[in-house]
Amino acid sequence: MRVFRRREALIFLMAALAAAVVARVPEGETSARPRNFVNSLDMEFVLIPAGSFTMGSPLNEAHRDRDERLHEVTITRPFYIQTTEVTLGQWWEVMGKKLFGRRKGVLDDPVVSVSWFDCMEFIEKLNERGEGTYRLPTEAEWEYACRAGTTTAYSWGDEPACSRAMYSNNPLKSEACIPHVKSMGLEPGKAAPVKSYDPNPWGLYDMHGNVWEWCSDWYGAYPEESVEDPTGPANGNRRVRRSGSWYKYPWYCRSANRNIGHPAIKHDTLGFRVVREAE
């Protein structure tokens, strides 16, 4: 009888543990989804799980801005995000090469000087290929993916490091990282080819620095309460961009740092990456 009770208790405990593990899996997750995905253009994507995180920055974070109010965000659905910025080669494949105003660079350079409207045109053409539904990331999705489970100023810690990201590569404005850039065989005064630096813990490259990245949201103040799947204000006149760039200071590359621009602007520090919805 005693042996039977012990065995029964052991079975009950194992079942309880299994139920607890299942309960921790966010709603909408499924083992049927592959962890990584590569489309016909060799655009690589990684599956970002649903989950919750604290968006914004604490009051004691160096170079913090007032619009980075801390608040809880829940991403209720998993999504695929591109592991790199959209490259020049991928841009040419979708948009074609134009005789006038032709873009210069190598295939693995991030495409730059693209407006938010240009990104929308690229995504429209990409969706017409029938390989899934693509879009820009929301600002919340972008920061969630950038942090990759971390709470520090950068995904590697609280201090900037020239060896971890492309920033301060400007001989005229901010040149602190130029010696390291040269040691890597890269050129001063421009962005680096994608994957020149190590990825974050979730396998995403250049979430800190290299080029600014457009998000889908209109810019607006953060809410004070917890929110699910925020998409920003319903309207506005400036769109959000994230990441920082090669052009200036490391604190622009913080996970929480926010930047904005009119959706029609184009700069050689400004690019994008896309999300593919997990169907």
pLDDT tens sequence across 107-128? 999 999 999 999 999 999 999 9
Instruction: Please give the pLDDT value at position 276.
Output: 98
What string of DSSP letters covers 108-127? TSBP-S--HHHHHHHHHHHH
**Residue 10 confidence (pLDDT) above 50:** no
Residue spans per domain, the chain: 35-277
**pLDDT for 138-181, tens place per residue?**
999 999 999 999 999 999 999 999 999 999 999 999 999 999 99
Give me the mean pLDDT over the 19-29 stretch: 35
Interatomic CA distance for residues 130 and 145, integer angstroms? 25
12 has pLDDT over 50: no
How far apart are alpha carbons 226 and 249 in whole angstroms? 31
Residue 3, pLDDT score: 36
Report the distance separating Cα 45 and Cα 203, nearest Å. Answer: 9
Which candidate, 191, 211, 190, 207, places its Cα nearest to that of 199? Answer: 207
Q: Which of 83, 130, 110, 74 is nearest to 274 (CA)?
A: 83
- CATH number (3.90.550.10, 1.10.110.30, 3.40.50.2000, 3.90.1580.10) of 35-277 reads 3.90.1580.10
Q: How high is the pLDDT of residue 100?
A: 57
pLDDT band at 26 (very low <50, low <70, confident <90, very high): very low
Q: Whole-structure pTM over 0.75, yes or no? A: yes
Average pLDDT over residues 254-263: 98
Tokens matching residue 109: 């350079």
- Tell me, what's the pLDDT at 104? 83
Distance, CA of 1 to CA of 59 (rounded, Å): 61
Tens digits of residue pLDDT in 70-86: 999 999 999 999 999 99
Q: pLDDT value at position 98?
A: 77
Q: What is the pLDDT of residue 19?
A: 32
